[in-house]
Chain A
Amino acid sequence: MKLLKKNGYNLCFTVIVIALALMPLLLLNGFVKSTTVLFLGKCMAFAIVAIGLDLIWGYTGILSLGHGLYFCLGAYGMGMYLKMVETHGKITDFMQVGGLTELPLIWKPFLSLPGTFLMIFLAPLVVSGLIGYFIFKNRVKGVYFSIISQALTWAAYSIFIALSPYTNGNVGISQIQSVLGSLRGPKNEGNLVTLFYVALVVLILIYALSYFLVHTKFGKILIAIRDGENRTYFSGYCVSNYKNVIYMLSAIFAAVAGALFVNFNGSITPTQMSITYSITMVIWVAIGGRGTLIGAVIGAFLINLCEYNLSSGSMAESWQYIIGLLFVITILFFKGGIVGIVKDQIPALLQKRRSRAEKEGRDHQPIPVKAEE
């Protein structure tokens, strides 16, 4: 029991990993459809963004409503590479339509895979580093930070649409295959399975890294910043540096997630950068349980699985309302989300019941019995 309490989160994560690892086997034996596996692949990407968001929101108390920006930086980076594979490094249709005669400089790094990986790390690092530097140095916090993060994402969204010769505007980058080739059809199931395991390994690595971080002194300082920013400054820590580092890290996580996502999805559009999408990411973390890494993972999987199964049927219209309502209820009554309910609220309820039962028992029986703890 004690072991379960101490390692409950990791145990839970292990169960999720094992369940995921079994999926491709079930696919090869025909028990699940390839679309389901494809979808679970995307869910793993979402879980990675959720972990990143949880690090800055759940642990550090910075609510970013603009992580769609970093998700898209990664996704576009990967998408551009895949497009270049498709056109064999030649200029694309939308560039020609936009009046360009040769490949723009910004596309050059995406001709090679190492260049692409470098950009997937560097682009979010530089953007979030600059944004974070100015915002945190000037001690902008709380709701003001959230608003700024939202505005910046909106600005980036507009830029991506406006620069259509470079980004293909509203349509985004589409008609691409994954890094391993096509994922569709029975003869490409091998590609899908490999890609699925790659994503699973990335998810495990990101979870492990985050788990390591939140259990070091660094992680304690993040919690300290969340609970008492002033006290942390007056304990001798340069809080703005810490905030900036964790912000950059979560931006990179989001970009890695975006890069995985585009492989499974086969296209990337500016919609994924919109504010609605960024807020949806926050909802995953809130409902799963912020401040625990596993909560973020559970939230990302659960909400997306519900959406996948519900949003395409009679519930399609009402799904948005349901998720909004769930979010409000979580914030009002279940601050710890699903993990909080299981970990704190149910035990507290049981405890209450037990003590009430004991009290009633005592009323009937005048001599109190001393229970062995």
Chain B
Amino acid sequence: MGKEQDTVLKIKNVSVVFDGFQALTDVNVKVKRNSIHFFIGPNGAGKTTLLDIICAKTKPTEGNVSFYPADGEKVRLTGMKEYKIVKEGVVRKFQVPSVFVNLTVEENMELSLKENKGVWQSVFHRTSEEEKALIDETLKKVGLEKRKDILAGSLAHGEKQWLEIAMQFVQKPEIILLDEPAAGMGKPETFKTGELLKEIKKECTIIVVEHDMDFVKQIADCVTVLHEGKVLMEGDIHQVLADETVQAVYLGRGGERNA
């Protein structure tokens, strides 16, 4: 496994301007394979915008994002259609849990399976035994295996978050983008989510946007601090916590408690 430490995603000179507002300025970040990479920063720092750019929800004004699959050529994500990016193996969980509320947990998972996304296939494809086993196994990871047959809309908030993570993981992606996976969760749930991500990390790379510093401390391999659309600093969690500028602009008020 010599490849373990190489780059899986490269964000190069990315700038975004929304109607004159400079949301991101010349961001350069490399993400290592099989790591948990955090983007933190105060509100409006451009964290979610950066995720939007990686998965092509937003177009950058300048710069581009490249993805290096484990086996294969470099893929330029900028300018691709979002559903094609998913096919390449870069998937995204949204900030507000967005599961399909009128479908059961199992159906949610079935729709997320990697293969058979075409119209014809969707009419004639029946979920195979292997696929069912994969769904069961993934649901077990997030602790929802007993709730397969209930409507996703009737899950609790935290369970929806886990289901959405499971829906991403079942696609066997190379990169999972998570936008505030612990938002609205209590301490024990957040901790459980952290342990889950550590488990998942063995098989893919995870990019997370999060506010909860305890959560960051629990699992982060690498942290990039954004401030006003620029990269303030990057390093492991200890370096970031020790940095004075970071203390001043972000950790500031809550910093004493968190640091």
Q: Which residues of A contact B (CB under 8 A)?
A: 213, 216-218, 220-221, 223-224, 226-228, 230-239, 241-242, 245
Contact = CB atoms under 8 A, between A and B. Distances in A.
Given A217-B110, A227-B102, A234 B91 contact: yes
Interface in B47-103: 55, 81-83, 86-87, 91-92, 94, 98-103
A223 B152 CA distance: 13
B86 A218 contact: no
B82 A233 contact: yes
Interface residues of B, number: 31
B123 A223 contact: no
B100 A224 contact: yes
Contacts of A238: 81, 83, 117
Given A227-B100, A231-B98, A218 B117 contact: no
Contact of A220 (B87, B101, B107, B119): B107
B119 A218 contact: yes
Given A234-B82, A234-B91, 17 more contacts: A216-B123, A216-B124, A217-B116, A217-B125, A220-B103, A220-B107, A224-B100, A224-B103, A224-B111, A227-B103, A231-B100, A232-B111, A233-B82, A236-B87, A237-B111, A238-B117, A241-B118
Contacts of B111: 217, 220-221, 224, 232, 235, 237
A235 B167 CA distance: 8
Contact of B83 (A213, A217, A223, A236): A236
Interface of A is mostly: helix
Contact of B86 (A221, A224, A227, A236): A236
B249 to A, nearest CB: 31
Contact of A236 (B101, B107, B171): B171
A205 B5 CA distance: 58
A338 B87 CA distance: 41
B112 A235 contact: yes
Contacts of B171: 236
Contacts of A217: 110-111, 116, 122-123, 125, 127
